[in-house]
Amino acid sequence: MSVLTHDEHTTGGHHESPEVIDHRQRLGIWIFIAGDVVTLAALLFTYLYLRGTNTEGSWRSVVAFDFTGKSLAQAQNLIDNGTPGRVFEKAVSSGLNWAIVLAVAVSAALFAFGERKIREGSARTLVPVGLAASAVAVVAAVLAVIQMRSIPQFYFVQNDSQLFIHTAYGSAMLALSGALIIHLVLLAFLGVGIVLRSLNGAISSTKWTQVRLVRFFWVWVAISTLITAVVTTALQ
């Protein structure tokens, strides 16, 4: 390798320009998002694989005790004297599913709006809008928790083991909502962080590139929520 070690064009300073750093950070975020795309793909693969395999016809259906609407005493009586029957599982509410998509989309739009404002020079908008975006993300997370809790467990008896289980469908939905909640908590953290930073002057109308980085991730989470909802409502 031939090398010039004394090049007059090299400034010699060890500090890099903000543009260079921003370019690098943008690439970093995109690669992280690529990894997240694979994670989502693995979870959707799980959902579709379980649905397609439908082991012993048990997609949204399981041979178990159904306690829906039963009192504790009746439930106990069922366990002691009953035989488990095939219980069909209602799909997770589509309305709730789309409400989550809407909430995540609104939070992403709010954050993107704040980003646009600060790039246009109006730093004051970012604080309330960023807070609102984080709040809506938390709301979406709460909705996702409600969705998770709506997934039933069935009392299941096989050989010697007696346990509460989720069906394959319930399991896959749980994993998808769980992953979404983790993402939303992360977004809320990043959103509040951006707000605190702009209050402290670490982000301003001349230093806004981190807002864009967070926006990339935010929009990706919105897209991934949409993809998830399309798959899980179209193919229940």
Residues that bind another protein (CB under 8 A): 1-7, 9-10, 12, 14, 20, 23-24, 27-28, 31-32, 34-36, 38-39, 41-43, 45-46, 49-50, 53-56, 58-59, 61-62, 153, 156, 158, 161, 163-172, 174-175, 178, 189, 192-193, 196-203
**Is 69 within 8 Å of 136 (Cβ atoms)?**
no
Rank residues 32 and 113 by Cβ distance to another protein and give the closer one: 32
| Closest separation in Å from C-beta 102 to another protein | 27
| Closest separation in Å from C-beta 62 to another protein | 6
Q: Which two tokens stand for residue 170?
A: 């319930």
| Closest separation in Å from C-beta 200 to another protein | 3
| Closest separation in Å from C-beta 130 to another protein | 13
Please list, in sequence order, all residues whose beta carbon lies within 8 angstroms of the beta carbon of residue 198, skipping any fewer than 6 positions away: 118, 123, 126, 127, 130, 204
Q: Which two tokens stand for residue 188?
A: 């809320």
- As beta bridge partners, residue 85 has 64
Separation CA 111–CA 116 (nearest Å): 9
| Closest separation in Å from C-beta 53 to another protein | 5
Rank residues 129 and 168 by Cβ distance to another protein and give the closer one: 168
Rank residues 9 and 71 by Cβ distance to another protein and give the closer one: 9
Rank residues 57 and 82 by Cβ distance to another protein and give the closer one: 57
**Is 146 within 8 Å of 96 (Cβ atoms)?**
yes
Q: Report the b/e string of 182-204 with b at 16+ CB within 10 A.
A: ebbeebbebbbbbbebbeeeebe
HSE, CB side, 13 Å, CA atoms: give it for residue 131: 9
Rank residues 125 and 178 by Cβ distance to another protein and give the closer one: 178
